[in-house]
Every structure is written in structure tokens, then in C-alpha cells.
Structure 1
Amino acid sequence: MFNFFRPQPRHDEITPTEVQQRLARGDRLYLLDVREREEYVEAHIPDSVLIPLGQLSRKLSSIPKDATIIAICRSGNRSGVAADMLRRAGYGDVLNLRGGIIAWVRAGLPVVA
């Protein structure tokens, strides 16, 4: 009844639970972590690929265009910038992980530490 008070994901965002469901379903996802190496080493999503935001424009050719790209950072801000950058570069299926790795951990989903 009062769901309008709860923030809803934007159309270009995906929740941690939705990512986990898509992974379990076998969807082709490219988990792109745009944090710095020190943050990534501390905790990251299994099978995610680290390309820090500052290096992203130089490494676009290493990112597949035939997968859904899930941009990941600490809280969702840097990954939102990365998602916008990827869309401008011609990547059509790009989603920002809402709440970043913080939300992922809070949801009790697995991380590599």
C-alpha cells in the first residue's frame, strides 16, 4: 500500500537480488567493477572484472558488446558514471548495480575477500 515511499530502481539500475537471479538463470552478464584495486581486493563479486573508472575509456575494447554489463562500485555513484560512459560509447545493455557492493553485502550475497 505504501510502496510509493520506498525508493524504486530506475530503469537503468538493477538490484543485487535481480543480478543474483539473472546469474542463477544463466544470463550472459559481464560484471564490471570500476572501483580502485585496493577496494576490489578487500571484497568483490565473484567473476567480476576490475577496470577502475579512470582507466575505463582506454579499455573499452576489452568489454564485450554481446553481454549485459552490470557496472559495480562501492555505493552506485561511480558505476553510474561508468554506465553512462558505456552507453555513450555504444554499449546498449548496461545497468548500474543499485547500492553497489554495499547493497550486495547487505543482501547476504557472496563476495571474494
Structure 2
Amino acid sequence: MPNFYGAPEITVSQLAEKLRNGDDVRVLDIREMDEIDRVYLDSPKVYIAPLSELAVHRLGRLPDEVRERSAEVVVMCHHGIRSAQVTMWLLAEGWENVTSLAGG
């Protein structure tokens, strides 16, 4: 279901279930390094690309693991605003299965 910004969303519980089930989902963490230092998600499915770096380097800053445009990608941030923006950007760039994590 789309959020206020028009980005499709997935809930935390839905993402947790996908990770528990071993689904091939990739989590793109776009928080800044100081945010990641406070709360680090230790999972081989989480790939870091701070929004400040994406803004400068665009698609060139995306981790290789999330470059496959047909891959299931969940974008996360701290509150859900930045993740919605990046989700919409990736959809506009041709990603087929990208969602924003509800609430960040």
C-alpha cells in the first residue's frame, strides 16, 4: 500500500517475516553514518548507502547487491521520509520491486 508520499510500503513485521523465511530481500539502509553508529543492523541482507552519498554519486553509490533492478529491495531510514523519497527515485530509475519500510 502506498504511503503519504506515494511510495509503496512494507511494515516492519512483514520485513521481519521475509527475513525469517529466508526470502531473497535486500535492505538498503540510507541512514547517515552517525545514525547507523547508534543503531547498527547486523544482517547480511542489509546494505549501507547514506542518502548524502546517494545525493552526490547517484546510482554509482548503490551497493552492487541492490543494483539488480528486478531484486526485491526494501529501503529504510530513521523515520520513513527519506526511504520514501529513495523508493520513488529507484522506481523512476527502473527498479521493479522496491518498497519503503513503514516508519523508517
TM-score range (shorter-chain normalised) is 0.7 to 0.9
Structure 2 Cα separation of the partners of residues 95 and 52 of structure 1 = 17
The equivalent of 1:106 in structure 2 is none
The equivalent of 1:64 in structure 2 is 67
Pick from 92, 97, 103 the counterpart of residue 93 of structure 1. 97
Secondary structure at 1:44's aligned position in 2? coil
Structure 2 Cα separation of the partners of residues 32 and 67 of structure 1 = 12
Indicate the RMSD between aligned Cα atoms, in angstroms.
Answer: 1.7
The equivalent of 2:32 in structure 1 is 36
Q: CA deviation at 1:85?
A: 1.2
The equivalent of 2:77 in structure 1 is 73
The equivalent of 1:105 in structure 2 is none
Asked which structure has the greater CA Rg, the reply is 1
Moved over 6 A (4+): none
Q: Indicate whether 1:53 and 2:51 are aligned.
A: yes
TM-score, length-scaled by structure 2 = 0.78
Letter in 2 for 1:78: R
Q: CA deviation at 1:93?
A: 0.5
Structure 2 Cα separation of the partners of residues 33 and 95 of structure 1 = 12
Structure 1 Cα separation of the partners of residues 102 and 32 of structure 2 = 18
Structure 2 Cα separation of the partners of residues 61 and 42 of structure 1 = 21
Structure 2 Cα separation of the partners of residues 19 and 61 of structure 1 = 20
Structure 2 Cα separation of the partners of residues 44 and 92 of structure 1 = 27
TM-score, length-scaled by structure 1 = 0.73
Letter in 1 for 2:48: L
